[in-house]
Amino acid sequence: MKIFAFINQKGGVGKTTVAINLARALSLKNYKILLIDFDPQANAGSGLGIRVNKEESIYQALIEGNCERFFKNPYPNFYVLPSSIDLVGLEVELVDLPEREYLLKKLIEKSTFNGFPLKNFFDFIFIDSPPSLSLITVNILTACEGVIIPLQCEYYALEGLSLLVRTIRGIKKSFNPDLVLFGLVLTMYDKRNRLSYEVAEEAKNHFKWIVFNTLIPRSVRVSEAPSFGKPVIDYEPQNKASLSFIELAEEFLERVKNYSK
């Protein structure tokens, strides 16, 4: 398993933060990572200090059918295919296209890097997604192999999850038979807050082993880091959240290994 999408139709739950920091943690362990930003908000790029216009973004890559020349390389082993706000228009443009659900899948399959197909060059391909269950999200769920759901440990966190799970099942049936719900990451966990604990317990009751044991704690440093264009792992390496992302990377690798057995 190589291609993972970070999905939750709610905004502000930690999708981009988990995608960036898990990717960064894995790159530090010498895994080659590609992070594809397929959200018009383009936060995965900006959180890494990358800002591009339409002509330099995934939007243009989709038109050209190859993404290699659009890659940015903020850290060793860590490549990013950035997005731009113009992607909002894509939804409308896609509607009448044949095979409109498969555009991202085909882009990943057809693109090369240093002469290799992307799946051969990179150890992992991560896709950051918008806060919706739109055609863009359908493209992401069709292109990926595993879904990782970040869940904010706040009130209403589990609301909407059954719709998300049903959507994943629907895509599996219609477009992507090998799709798996790979994991659920509990984010913004506050151990002083009883609600955080209750949300975590409820998530574990519903989703059992799918929930990663690693809890990502809430820390203001995490929310400061994007304005410096850095993952929190680089902004403050010894921060409790930074350490938790390193731990999550280990748990992630262990789980990938078990899946390939």
Contact of residue 241 among Mg ion, ligand ADP, none (CB under 5-8 Å per partner type): ligand ADP
Sequence-ordered list of residues with C-beta below 8 angstroms from that of 238, at least 6 positions apart, any chain: none
Contact of residue 3 among ligand ADP, Mg ion, none (CB under 5-8 Å per partner type): none
Q: Which stretch binds Mg ion (CB under 5 A): 37-45, 49-57, 212-220, 225-233?
A: 37-45
Q: What is the DSSP letter of 56?
A: G
Are 32 and 121 spatial neighbours (Cβ–Cβ below 8 Å)? yes
Asked if residue 230 binds ligand ADP (CB under 6 A), the reply is no
**Alpha-carbon 6 to chain mean position:** 3
- What is the rounded distance in angstroms from the CA atom of residue 254 to the CA atom of residue 139? 27
Out of 223, 228, 237, 250, name the contact with ligand ADP by CB under 6 A.
223
CB of residue 10 vs Mg ion: minimum separation in angstroms? 10
Asked if residue 160 binds ligand ADP (CB under 6 A), the reply is no
Q: Which 44-103 positions form the footprint of ligand ADP (CB under 6 A)? A: none
- Residue type at 222 in one-letter notation: V
Contact of residue 216 among Mg ion, ligand ADP, none (CB under 5-8 Å per partner type): ligand ADP
Are 81 and 105 spatial neighbours (Cβ–Cβ below 8 Å)? no
Please give the structure tokens belonging to residue 229.
């264009």
Q: What is the DSSP letter of 257?
A: H
Asked if residue 168 binds ligand ADP (CB under 6 A), the reply is no
Residue with the closest Cβ to Mg ion? 16
Sequence-ordered list of residues with C-beta below 8 angstroms from that of 93, at least 6 positions apart, any chain: none
- What is the rounded distance in angstroms from the CA atom of residue 85 to the CA atom of residue 205? 38
Contact of residue 219 among Mg ion, ligand ADP, none (CB under 5-8 Å per partner type): ligand ADP
Out of 56, 94, 121, 131, name the contact with ligand ADP by CB under 6 A.
131
Out of 5, 9, 14, 46, name the contact with ligand ADP by CB under 6 A.
14
- What is the rounded distance in angstroms from the CA atom of residue 63 to the CA atom of residue 71? 15
**Residues lying near ligand ADP in the complex (CB under 6 A):** 11-17, 43, 131, 187-188, 216, 218-219, 222-223, 226, 241
